[in-house]
Amino acid sequence: MEIDKLTPCLEKVSTGEIVKTTYAKADKNELSSLKGWLFNWKDYNLNDCEIYKVLVDDDSRIQGLIAVKDEPSNNAIYIKIAESAPHNKGKEKEYLGTGGHLFAISVLISMNKGYGGFVYMDAKNRRLVDHYIEILGASYVGGVHPFRVSIGEIAAKRLIDFYNFKRED
């Protein structure tokens, strides 16, 4: 996932207005009704994950999704996949900042589990590795996967301090 812009909340492209956001777990009915997304969010490979959605206040449409796996043996959260909604991609996107929000959510989940904000993921290519290092403050890990990166405590704290969203219960 390419992060287009870090914004404390999402930014409406047409007006530059900053809009408030909420995040919550996505339910199976919502995932079943998705249309136009690149990933199959009902895939069996996501059965061991929790899937979270980003919402704009007063708008029921999902703005982005992230699948995270709790890995207590690693004291970390593994980000399996993240994706902005189809209407937040390309030249005609509605909102900026979805990708950064999704990663900030994963960091917050890690902090809430007592992992200090530590998360890791496997990027698709070296360009994305460099992008995550530059934008998120991630570190290159490599090893098991040639494009593995992690976000540690300092970068995690920076993301949480920057983002302004609430959790839907």
User: Minimal CA–CA distance to 119: which of 85, 86, 144, 148?
Assistant: 148
Rounded CA separation 67/97 (Å): 18
Rounded CA separation 25/53 (Å): 6
Looking at residue 159, its pLDDT comes to: 86
> What angle, 0 to 180 degrees and rounded to 10, lies between the N-to-C axes of helices 98-112 and 126-136?
70
Looking at residue 169, its pLDDT comes to: 46
Looking at residue 161, its pLDDT comes to: 83
Rounded CA separation 167/169 (Å): 6
Rounded CA separation 21/3 (Å): 17
Q: What is the mean pLDDT of each run of 10 residues along the chain (169 residues)?
A: 69 92 92 94 95 92 97 96 95 91 93 96 92 90 90 90 64
The size of the chain, in residues, is 169
Domains of the chain by range and CATH? 10-167 (3.40.630.30)
Backbone angles phi, psi at 10, to 5 degrees: -75, 150
What does pTM read for this prediction? Answer: 0.90
User: Minimal CA–CA distance to 43: which of 80, 87, 94, 12?
Assistant: 80
Q: What angle do CA 167, 53, 150 make, to 5 degrees?
A: 90
Residue 80, token pair as written in the block: 């399996």
Sheet of strand 95-96: strand arrangement: 18-19, 10-12, 95-96
Residue 13, token pair as written in the block: 């492209």
